[in-house]
Chains A and B, each alone.
Chain A
């Protein structure tokens, strides 16, 4: 393994001056209040990212425990584990929690913590905006949970708390949008000299695509939430925006596919990154892989126009014939993302044919990419009108696949880039089984729900089940009705336990003095040129980049020089 360090002549060079280099996050030296103040006021992107990761982990664990309880409740209509009147709000908590309190912060947190390092930048663009975004998200998250607990979530019975939920969801979205704006600006403006757009790392590219898509899609969700908030604040019987199902009807698309798919686009970049590192080769053709990841971003069309049905009149006007007028909008909003995901995964998998090193992050990346691929396929199937899967548990299974694709990728990112954030490594052997367990748990949780969806088990984004407890297990199915719900619950419980074990292992591994090498995986991109843990301003000098894999080039030239 090559040791990367600075040449003596570099010491005299001026630091990069185009971006904020005053990140106030030298290693914590104080204790108590000083330490808290440092974290509260930090502008170091690694700390902001880690705050998001911590918040996302808490959100994940709380929401997934509720999901397991709901799964147990679903096994039988006679179950009295949960209060029947609370089911609607618990479903809302599960959906909102896993999407916006777990998946979104985990993905944005990883991106904030690593992208500037990958770009060779000394800081994130607008770090104070990103920090403010985290605190907005946190306040919104706490208020949203509080309002749901008080029967104020979607379909809730307490109008004042439903109103509070609207405001808090707006705060959550505002925080996330602040984060993605900083990421887009960073990638477009803070790249190291020589790093043109074709040379940016795969993960950063996928983050750029996801961030651009989210910066268009999330405001649309926020706009509809703004309407429902004002409608709940000033309700009237004739106002369709203040009806009991208004949030479900008008904002539900923000909690379902393909909107949720946008959050996990970086999964593809992470898989490419870890596969390139494990194989020790350049992934080719780079442009096609970039294009494939970019294609997944077309899912944003579906989010913004909400349904191919909306697009159909435009295609009908072109006199293409009925069949083509049906197929073209569907292919645009659901087919292209699936095609992009398939091409990206296939291209990356090709690199694994040459006996890659068995590194744990590669497996996390592979499992996450497989889940992403199945989620994209299921999302396309969900929107086939003749399959009539809308409103069934198929959508719920599809959504769980998306969530766990993001969760596994975030876990893999912690393993892979942990040395840059904490200065310590996690044991390869210890985390590998956990990756497999979460993957199996996620598949076991999602697939039975999809099968039950084909048998017409009702499910929805925010189900209204208060009136009829039988509704949640009602099937058009002759077999044992509890079978699929039992399997799904077992899968969720397995995934939950594996995530818990991972969190415990991570906390244990990352405590204590820093001892990780600068480049423990023999990575190819610029973040591995920084020390472990990376200092507050990332790099003491600005590096020139002359290829997409500068560290691989160095290693090759070192070998050929010997």
Chain B
């Protein structure tokens, strides 16, 4: 009789964290490809006709800057949740998670404000399509992030305080979103 040696149950290997990292890499490729095509078509349009934005359209910078100002504290709060969770501080971990969710909702609100003020029809030139595709995707990612924060908060405050990997994965997702939104802010709102 031949048998391989048996082992005791191995230590956890951060499956959720690794999975989140792979998803973030895939989303980075998704957004990176879209940004690249945006920049390319913008350059081609500028070279051909000298303009890119539809006539009469101006990009409101105030809500865009507010969004940027919100995304940076989100990353800090997400890390605060990890720090508190590691110390078993339920109150502060919960507070940090709910603050992240709240700021995510505030960012979605700011994006809605940008849509209302720009008043760009979806039917139009190439810019219109790309603007709504990129910002719409970012809103979808923000909604996912807010849901992620809410689920993490409910699970953590519901008593699963040992599940610190979820809080860490949550923070990783928001670091990614901070980076992604910073890119979006620069490409769409600053360089337009």
Interface residues of A (CB under 8 A from B): 2-7, 9-10, 13-19, 125-126, 177, 181-182, 184-185, 188-190, 192-194, 215-224, 226-227, 230-231, 233-236, 238-242, 250, 304, 526, 529, 541-546, 550-551, 554-555, 558
Contacts and interface: CB of A to CB of B under 8 A. Distances in A.
A134 B10 CA distance: 30
Contacts, number: 164
Interface string B1-35: 11111111111111100110011011101111110
A224 B126 contact: no
B133 A554 contact: no
Given A185-B15, A219-B27, A234-B129, A14 B8 contact: yes
Contact of B10 (A126, A215, A542): A542
Nearest to B131: A230
Q: Which of B4, B5, B19, B26 has the most CB of A within 10 A?
A: B4
A280 B37 CA distance: 51
Contacts of A215: 22, 25-26, 29
Main secondary structure of the interface of B (DSSP, over half): helix
Contacts of B27: 219
B5 A185 contact: no
Given A16-B9, A220-B29, A239 B37 contact: no
Contacts of B10: 16, 18, 192-193, 542
B179 interface: no
A236 B124 contact: yes
Nearest to A227: B133
Contacts of A550: 4
B15 A18 contact: yes
Contacts of B124: 234, 236, 238-239
Please give me the 9 A-B residue pairs with the lowest Cβ-Cβ distance, nearest first: A220-B33, A219-B30, A234-B122, A223-B34, A7-B3, A189-B13, A234-B123, A223-B33, A543-B4
A216 B29 contact: yes
Contacts of B29: 215-217, 219-220, 223, 304
B9 A18 contact: yes
B137 interface: yes
Given A189-B13, A224-B37, A250-B37, A240 B126 contact: yes
Q: Which of A9, A235, A542, A546 has the most CB of B within 10 A?
A: A542
Chain B contact-residue range equals 35 or more
Nearest to A221: B33
B123 A5 contact: no
B37 A190 contact: no
B26 A216 contact: yes
A193 B7 contact: yes
B185 to A, nearest CB: 18
A236 B6 CA distance: 65
Contacts of B30: 219-220, 222-223
28 contacts: A2-B2, A3-B2, A6-B3, A15-B9, A18-B9, A18-B10, A18-B11, A181-B22, A182-B19, A188-B13, A192-B7, A192-B10, A193-B10, A215-B29, A216-B25, A219-B29, A220-B29, A220-B30, A223-B33, A224-B33, A230-B136, A231-B126, A236-B128, A242-B129, A541-B7, A543-B6, A544-B5, A546-B5
Nearest to A228: B129
B23 to A, nearest CB: 6
B84 to A, nearest CB: 25
Contacts of A555: 2
Given A182-B19, A188-B18, A227-B34, 15 more contacts: A13-B6, A16-B9, A181-B26, A184-B22, A188-B13, A216-B26, A220-B29, A221-B33, A227-B37, A234-B121, A239-B125, A239-B128, A242-B129, A543-B5, A554-B2
B186 interface: no
A226 B13 contact: no
Nearest to B14: A189
A226 B123 CA distance: 15
A389 to B, nearest CB: 25
A125 B20 CA distance: 12
Contacts of A236: 123-125, 128
Contacts of A193: 7, 10
B41 interface: yes
B130 A227 contact: yes
